[in-house]
Structure 1
């Protein structure tokens, strides 16, 4: 008479049991939070050495500052001061051994990632000064008029014979 209640209950209990059995079969024994708690999240204790052998892909602005102090000083107190160098130049993993590993991207698409005019100001991203790339000098690169490391400063003009 009450099979309409018991049958779904047994099905739900069966699904829970199947999930628990699959967890025991599929999840390695060394997976968990271990002695450091949730500080580093869930991981496998058995592959910590493997992760230590992976080289770091991204560096910090401090890493860039060691060789590019002039650019660091330009950007530090500018509106772009909170942006990490690698946001625009890519990961510094093989730099300086391979100087070509970092790109100097002068395309409008790079600037428009942050400076596309958004119609709302509810977020910090909406408060960034934006442009419409279709109407704001679409024929030239942004760096022709704007110095990316400090947009408040005019770009350095190159000599014609250089």
Structure 2
């Protein structure tokens, strides 16, 4: 064969050999798929014990009704039913052992992260009722008028006072 065929072929073989050599240097020998197959993907077998020591942070909403039945029932009957409690209150990894473990954020920013108006009507995010945070009572917290666990109900906890925009 001519040189114009051999040179590119040698170049490709050298690149592939370089990649394989680099892989043997960088990838640990215990990296791969083990007894559970591809269910958990590729991982290092020697690293499993390290991962077992990490505490689970998110517990889902399944444990909430035991102590917070009224709030849980309210949210399950509302448009917020699809939202996990931990989306707003943070991870419940040490709750109820640590009652302060879940943060109650009453800031506008928490609500606005989902309810700021976005003009995307062709997707799910665009269907969420949105407001213009600059013009919709910017000096007031959302919970002054809206009950967060069921926003269609008025928040009767706070005395109704007129807030000027």
Deviations 1:22-50 (A, max 9, x none): 21222122211212221111111222122
TM-score of the pair, normalised by structure 2: 0.88
Give the structure 1 partner of residue 163 of structure 2: none
Structure 1 residue matching 2:80: 3-state secondary structure: coil
Q: Is the 8 A contact 2:144 2:158 kept in 1?
A: no
1:73 and 2:65 correspond: no
Deviations 1:43-98 (A, max 9, x none): 11222122122111111101222221111111012100010011111111122222
Q: What is the aligned-residue RMSD (CA, Å)?
A: 1.7
Give the structure 2 partner of residue 42 of structure 1: 42
1:135 and 2:135 correspond: yes
The 5 Å alignment of 1:81-92 reads 81-92=81-92
The more displaced of 136-145 and 61-70 is 61-70
For residues 108 and 101 of structure 2, what CA distance do their matches in structure 1 show?
A: 20
Residue 2 of structure 1 deviates from its aligned partner by: 4.7
- Unaligned runs of 5+ residues in structure 1 are none
1:51 and 2:51 correspond: yes
For residues 120 and 96 of structure 1, what CA distance do their matches in structure 2 show?
A: 39
The 5 Å alignment of 1:5-154 reads 5-154=5-154
TM-score of the pair, normalised by structure 1: 0.89
Give the structure 1 partner of residue 162 of structure 2: none
For residues 85 and 143 of structure 2, what CA distance do their matches in structure 1 show?
A: 16
Structure 2 residue matching 1:118: 3-state secondary structure: coil
- Unaligned runs of 5+ residues in structure 2 are 160-165
Deviations 1:101-153 (A, max 9, x none): 21111111110111111112111011111111001111100010101100111
For residues 158 and 151 of structure 2, what CA distance do their matches in structure 1 show?
A: 17
Structure 1 residue matching 2:79: 3-state secondary structure: coil
